[in-house]
């Protein structure tokens, strides 16, 4: 079974249940190391919240994503990225009209085929993806979310070479 078929199967399984179970959808665009990336995603909020006794609390969500990486003309390659990430978010307990947040996460990604961009070559399709981000939710129901993420992907030294890649990303989400 090809990685493309596996990615489609995983995506179908994640979205195949009750569509109301999805709490949000997102689109991302980013750039890093002469590589453009774009992703779509679905999010499921956690019921658990921590440190709820103050005006700020820690909450979180599961983020499933699928996207493409494109290298510049000359290399002319595209890569598929399928990821699954638990995201922790520091946010206001009682949000105002514009509610700022900060977030951090470490998840897993499958990049297929093995990423090669000039002299940068990953040794495996399996990668960890961690990010730090900040943004704000807004709208009459806090349904919109606009944020920035700095993301690093690498295989954590499980195989070599392991050059990793960094992305600066803009993310827009809609919460149901």
Per-residue pLDDT of the chain in tens (176 residues, 90 and over written 9): 455 555 555 555 455 555 558 999 999 999 998 899 999 999 999 999 999 999 999 999 999 999 999 987 556 789 999 999 999 999 999 998 999 999 999 999 999 998 877 778 889 999 999 999 999 999 999 999 999 999 999 999 888 888 899 999 999 999 99
Residue 119 pLDDT:
72
Domain that holds residue 69: 3-175
Domain CATH number, residue 169: 2.40.160.20
Beta-carbon-side half-sphere exposure of residue 84 (alpha carbons within 13 Å):
7
Instruction: Please state whether beta strands 116-117 and 56-70 pair in parallel, antiparallel, or not at all (unpaired).
Output: unpaired
Tell me how far CA of residue 20 lies from CA of 88, 92, 97, 176, in angstroms: 22, 25, 25, 8
- pTM score, two decimals? 0.86
pLDDT at 5: 53
Domain count, the chain: 1
Q: Are strands 116-117 and 35-45 parallel, antiparallel or unpaired?
A: unpaired
Cα–Cα distance between 51 and 56 in angstroms, integer? Answer: 8
């Amino acid at each position: 079974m090809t990685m493309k078929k596996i990615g489609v199967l995983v995506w179908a399984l994640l979205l195949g249940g009750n569509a109301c179970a999805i709490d949000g959808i997102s689109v991302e665009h980013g750039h890093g190391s002469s590589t453009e990336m774009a992703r779509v995603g679905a999010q499921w909020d956690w019921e658990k919240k921590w440190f709820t006794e103050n005006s700020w609390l820690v909450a979180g969500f599961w983020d499933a994503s699928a996207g493409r990486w494109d290298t510049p003309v000359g290399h002319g390659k595209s890569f598929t990225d399928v990821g699954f990430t638990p995201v922790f978010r520091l946010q206001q307990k009682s949000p105002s009209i514009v509610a700022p947040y900060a977030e951090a996460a470490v998840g897993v990604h499958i990049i297929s085929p093995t990423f090669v961009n000039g002299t940068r070559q990953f040794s495996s399709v399996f990668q960890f993806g961690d990010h730090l981000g900040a943004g704000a939710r807004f709208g009459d129901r806090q349904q919109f979310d606009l944020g920035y993420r700095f993301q690093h992907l690498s295989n954590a030294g499980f195989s070599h070479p392991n050059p990793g890649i960094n992305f600066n990303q803009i993310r827009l989400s809609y919460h149901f």
